[in-house]
Amino acid sequence: MIAEGKRRASETAHQERMTLAWNTAALHRAKRMPALKDVLAKKKREPRRKALGPDQLLTMARMWSAIAGPEPKEGV
């Protein structure tokens, strides 16, 4: 299993180097450079989380209070 993982990692690294070499050669032959934003990979958007309601916020506050423990008494 470890050998299989190392083989895959080696193949992936080789493919990445070949892609870099191919793109470098292709861009060198291009008469006009493409815009950088067109060449870069686009980031995947993470879906926005729905805002917590008042009941959920109160529950979270109680949970944090339970974890933190009781408040220290004055004068101790």
Give the domain ranges of the chain: 1-37
Residue holding tokens 């070499």? 21
Task: Give the span between the Cα atoms of 8 and 42, in whole angstroms.
Answer: 25
Task: Give the span between the Cα atoms of 37 and 46, in whole angstroms.
Answer: 20
Structure confidence at residue 41 (pLDDT): 76
pLDDT in single tens digits along all 76 residues of the chain: 788 888 899 999 999 999 899 888 988 888 888 887 887 777 777 788 888 899 999 999 889 888 887 776 776 5
Report the 3 state secondary structure along 9-57.
HHHHHHHHHHHHHHHHHHHHHCCCCCCHHHHCCCCCCCCCCCCCCHHHH
